[in-house]
Chain A
Amino acid sequence: MTAQSIKWFWYASPQTFYPVAGVIARWCGTAAAVLCAVGLYMGFFVAPTDAQQGEAYRIIFIHVPAAWMSMFLYVVMAFWAAVGLAFNTRLSHMMASALAPTGALFTFVALWTGSFWGRPTWGTWWAWDARLTSELILLFLYFGFMALQAAIDDRRRAERAGALLAIVGVVNVPIIYYSVQWWNTLHQGASVSLARAPSMAAMMLTGMLIMALAFWMYSIAVTLVRVRCLIMDNE
């Protein structure tokens, strides 16, 4: 074993990780606030009004980043779940458990903002388009993970069962997404898909990317604080 590889497992100890997590969380939290301010400024004052959708399209600056985060966090959750099962490290399982509530939050936000975007633009509060329907199923996957871990009293069994579920889920997500896409094309009438955003002006894209970064920093901060709580609970 090289000195490098020993370092990883040094940080895998909850005691060692606790202070590190605190530092990173504080840093990311500040970054999130700053990026959010910049992103919102860009979204509301720099990006031009859309010709077809008017001001309503500005919802895109939180809808798309939230959707990206919801999917990204699930994959990261599954990653830590796999690491936890493979190396039997408790901290990895704690990371996976800590990610779930935030992931579910962003999924709900994506659905809510998608709905509020759809109403003025396409006329309905809910559209069974491929993206929204997939997000809905993703929300069920997050809830399933949290419910399973909550239902098991034995911590070790709860972590490992949840981990397995997360891995099964992440493998299924592309399959679910593809089949929902296909289903959508079969049943789609003349109505349009919410995925077809207004043609992206450069400023719009930048605004979205900055907000995505902001949400990412926020997720890291919140997750690490939650992990610290889990570490404290565990002692």
Chain B
Amino acid sequence: MLAAVRCVVYRDLLLALRRRSDVATALLFFVIVTSLFPLGIGAEPDLLRSIAPGVIWVAALLSCMLSLGRLFAADHADGTLEQLLLSAAPLGVIAAAKALAHWLVSGLPLVLIAPLIALQYGLPAALYPVLALSLLLGTPVLSMIGSIGAALTLGLRGGGVLLSLLVLPLYVPVLIMGAGSVEMAAAGLAPDGQLLLLAALLIVAAAFAPWASAAALRISAE
């Protein structure tokens, strides 16, 4: 089973590497969106500092969502998905592996870039670890929940926007807890509660999302 995971992750990473521009575009989107807010709202330092956690988190959420289309579409187009459906490894494990690969390419870089954005927004350096940790815990959840949506909307017209409509309400708890943890820390309180809840969401997502994705894949691809 682990061999299947290794195989799928390796393959997806290799494909992502071959299409570096797709990956880079999503990350660039993250940076661009965060640059838009000061342009729209005004660059007053106190204001930016107070909206920073929320803006960074919303941008991360949108960026993750944009790249979800890639999750199953390529495999569906070239027939690999049918092979995966027939394979001996449990489909849930395969779905989890794909979500993991997606996160490595679309989520993890956000964790690394976020402190730079935080710097632009004047967020105190002491908050960077909390920000990074919240994103580290939250972005995998976004990938996993997103994989359910991607599987449900496989091959549909208007897929991208429909995917957003399906998945954004489900993202709300992650957003609230993620941004909330940084805001708590900014207020001088301990962010432990929110971070633990994020960890709980991560565990629950890891336990259930792969099976939901697998079921969705079967529904969509049969």
Q: State the A residues within 8 Å of B (CB).
A: 137, 140-141, 143-144, 147-148, 151-152, 157, 160-161, 164-165, 168-169, 171-172, 175-176, 178-180, 182-183, 186
Decide: A176 near B172, CB < 8 A? Known: A161-B216, A161-B220.
Answer: yes
* Contact among B166, B169, B184 with A148 in the assembled complex (CB-CB below 8 Å): B166
Interface pair A179/B172, CB less than 8 Å apart: yes
* Contact among B148, B156, B169, B180 with A152 in the assembled complex (CB-CB below 8 Å): B156
* Contact among B165, B180, B220, B222 with A147 in the assembled complex (CB-CB below 8 Å): B165
Distance in angstroms from A105 CB to nearest chain B CB is 18
Chain A contacts for B201, CB-based, 8 A = 175
Q: State the B residues within 8 Å of A (CB).
A: 148, 152-153, 156-158, 162, 165-166, 168-170, 172-173, 176-177, 180, 183-184, 197, 201, 208, 212, 215-216, 219-220, 222
Interface pair B166/A165, CB less than 8 Å apart: yes
6 A-B pairs with CB atoms under 8 Å apart are A143-B165, A152-B156, A157-B222, A169-B169, A183-B180, A186-B183
Q: State in angstroms the CA–CA spacing of A161 and B220 once bound together.
A: 7
Decide: A148 near B162, CB < 8 A? Known: A140-B169, A175-B173, A179-B172.
Answer: yes
Chain B contacts for A152, CB-based, 8 A = 156
Chain B contacts for A172, CB-based, 8 A = 169-170, 173
Known interface pairs A148-B152, A151-B158; 15 further A-B residue pairs with C-beta atoms within 8 A, sorted by A's residue number: A140-B165, A141-B169, A144-B165, A147-B162, A148-B162, A161-B152, A161-B216, A161-B219, A164-B148, A168-B148, A168-B212, A180-B172, A180-B176, A183-B176, A186-B184
Q: State in angstroms the CA–CA spacing of A160 and B220 once bound together.
A: 9
Q: State in angstroms the CA–CA spacing of A161 and B177 once bound together.
A: 28
* Contact among A157, A161, A176, A178 with B169 in the assembled complex (CB-CB below 8 Å): A176
Chain A contacts for B165, CB-based, 8 A = 140, 143-144, 147
Chain A contacts for B184, CB-based, 8 A = 186
Q: State in angstroms the CA–CA spacing of A46 and B143 once bound together.
A: 54
Interface pair B169/A144, CB less than 8 Å apart: yes
Chain B contacts for A157, CB-based, 8 A = 219-220, 222
* Contact among A140, A161, A182 with B180 in the assembled complex (CB-CB below 8 Å): A182
Interface pair B169/A137, CB less than 8 Å apart: yes
Decide: A179 near B176, CB < 8 A? Known: A151-B153, A161-B219.
Answer: yes
Chain A contacts for B180, CB-based, 8 A = 182-183, 186
Chain B contacts for A175, CB-based, 8 A = 173, 201
Interface pair A176/B173, CB less than 8 Å apart: yes
Interface pair A160/B219, CB less than 8 Å apart: yes
Chain B contacts for A165, CB-based, 8 A = 152, 166
Interface pair A148/B153, CB less than 8 Å apart: yes
Distance in angstroms from B177 CB to nearest chain A CB is 6
Distance in angstroms from B203 CB to nearest chain A CB is 13
